[in-house]
Amino acid sequence: MPRPSYPVTLISKKPLSANTIELTLAFDDKEQHFHYTAGQFVQLLFTADGQQHKRSYSIANTPENFNQYGHLNIAISFVENGIASSLFKTADTGLSMELTGPFGILTLPDAHERQLILGGTGTGIAPYHAMLSELEKRAAQGCNISVITGARHRNESIYHDAFQKTAEKYANFHYLTCLSREASIHTEQNEYTGYIQERFIDLSLDPDKDLVYLCGNPGMITDATSLLINQFGFVSKKIKREKYVYSGH
């Protein structure tokens, strides 16, 4: 069954990092009945160079925030010569688009796991930002949570302050940053050289009781999944994955 389509308007945009912006979208129909679960994504239909294009983006704000303000936030990484990147980099507020969704099953389970590991590269961290209010509730109830973000350089990380604030509030909520090409690492800020999957060894993983989320770069997801299955004994259903495809973006 097709998902309904909603006219939306760009009402603001702000930089999140050296190569990422956040768009805030308002629904033209203030009486719309759009609902989503944290971790889901939407598709935007827009016109560029006289043609219509469709792109998928994860929702970055919590459902509570959406219910209060009625706006959706999405994070967009710039891709060189990308159609959407070129449009949104220069777009002014007032840009009209169509939105469909929500889609996706990268959502939290009803049952609480012993440990949640949430790994994301680039804008693949956005779904976890949308989960923050629920993650805080689970941390308060004793669930061990590790959010691991991956980027090439420090200035490409997004939503750092929000995750860091939660980590400072709960001793069992851990926020780690993996930087693959950064010259200097701030170990006191839980920065590491390398890749997300290289941090699994430190997490005391239990394949029967833990749940792992992977979002973003397809190569990272393939490598991390292989490691979790072959070295740590996870079965596929305990690894929730969402690959971002950037070609023609």
Task: Report DSSP state, residue 13.
Answer: E
Q: How far apart are CA 232 and CA 114, in angstroms?
A: 16
Q: Which CATH class is domain 115-243?
A: alpha beta
**Between these two residues, 249 and 235, which has the higher pLDDT value?**
235
Q: Are 74 and 126 in contact (CB under 8 A)?
A: yes
Query: pLDDT tens digits, residue range 144-170?
Result: 999 999 999 999 999 999 999 999 999
For the cut 90, the answer to whether the pLDDT of residue 182 exceeds it is no
For 196, the 3-state DSSP assignment is: helix
Q: State what percent of residues in the chain have pLDDT above 70.
A: 98
Q: Which of 62-71, 108-117, 122-131 has the lowest mean pLDDT?
A: 108-117
Q: State what percent of residues in the chain have pLDDT above 90.
A: 85
pLDDT at position 47, please? Answer: 92
Output helix, strand, coil percentages for the chain, rounded to the nearest 5.
30, 35, 35
Give the residue carrying structure tokens 């159609």: 83
Q: Are 198 and 192 in contact (CB under 8 A)?
A: yes
Q: How far apart are CA 235 and CA 207, in angstroms?
A: 7
Tokens describing residue 28: 């033209």
pLDDT at position 228, please? Answer: 98
pLDDT at position 247, please? Answer: 45
pLDDT at position 248, please? Answer: 47
Q: Which CATH number applies to 5-102? A: 2.40.30.10
Tokens describing residue 92: 């002014």
For the cut 70, the answer to whether the pLDDT of residue 89 exceeds it is yes
Q: How far apart are CA 247 and CA 213, in angstroms?
A: 23
| Mutual angle of helices 160-169 and 132-140, in 10-degree steps | 10
pLDDT at position 11, please? Answer: 98
Give the residue carrying structure tokens 């704000």: 61
pLDDT at position 249, please? Answer: 53
Task: Report DSSP state, residue 201.
Answer: G
Mean local confidence (pLDDT), 189-196 = 92
For the cut 50, the answer to whether the pLDDT of residue 94 exceeds it is yes
Range of 1-5, 110-114, 180-184, 239-243 with top mean pLDDT: 239-243
For the cut 70, the answer to whether the pLDDT of residue 1 exceeds it is no
Query: pLDDT tens digits, residue range 96-122?
Result: 999 999 999 999 999 888 999 999 999
Query: pLDDT tens digits, residue range 4-50?
Result: 899 999 999 999 999 999 999 999 998 888 999 999 999 999 999 88
Parse the chain into domains and list their residue ranges: 5-102, 115-243
For 74, the 3-state DSSP assignment is: strand
Q: Are 214 and 227 in contact (CB under 8 A)?
A: no
Nearest CA among 240, 244, 245, 246 for reference residue 118: 240
Q: How far apart are CA 107 and CA 118, in angstroms?
A: 11
